[in-house]
Amino acid sequence: MSTVVFDISVSIDGFITASNQTPDEPMGEGGLRLHDWIGRDDANRQYMEEALGGLGAVICGRRTFDHSITWWGPNGPSGPARRPTIVVTHHAPDTAPENGVYEFATDGIHDALDRARAAAGNGSVCVMGGADLGQQYLAAGLLDEVSLHVVPVIFGAGTRLFENLPTDHLPLETLQVVETPAAIHTRFRIVK
């Protein structure tokens, strides 16, 4: 069965967006700083290539899809790799990019995961984009790993990554730490 990984960039103080989000700046003022590490240098390019090499499918939320489609285009968040992207939503949009990789799951996170696993084959399933979606998968016990790209910036406000979780402790085992000047990439296995 596919490994299910929640993968997201985060500020040192735990925010996945900066404050003052607008339609023109969905990541908030200066929030795109969280993605500066992507392709920035050889170490970060290699990290991204390795991650994409094992990727089978992606799950994202509707808000992430709506805000990111202009950057992603028909290829989705995996770019030229064109991995299937399952969008969790209450209502599928009337239109999506032609020849795109998108499928819309309207029956909740379990439905989206079933679709992503079927599409992923032996590859991993990446849950990305959105604190709320990641928290839902974590609370439901559906994640195997958490992958954080900790960016050296302090936002002070914005969207907190782990705002609404149960109060129970969740033990993690460190699987990987890759340090670069632009981000520290950490991967943890959820101990079940």
Q: What is the pLDDT of residues 36-86, one digit of tens each?
A: 999 889 999 999 888 888 999 999 999 999 888 877 888 888 888 899 999
Would residue 20 be called left, alpha or beta, if left means φ above 0 and alpha means ψ between -120 and 50 degrees?
left
The residues with which 151 forms a beta bridge, in sequence order, are 11
pLDDT tens digits, one per residue of 34-47: 999 998 899 999 99
Distance set, CA 106 to CA 8, 43, 80, 109, 153 (Å): 23, 38, 26, 9, 35
What is the value of pTM for the model shown?
0.93
166 has a pLDDT exceeding 80: no
The candidate with the shortest Cα–Cα distance to 47, out of 173, 174, 180, is 180
pLDDT confidence tier of residue 95, bands split at 50, 70 and 90: confident
The answer, yes or no, to whether residue 186 has pLDDT greater than 80, is yes
Q: Domains of the chain, with CATH numbers? A: 4-190 (3.40.430.10)
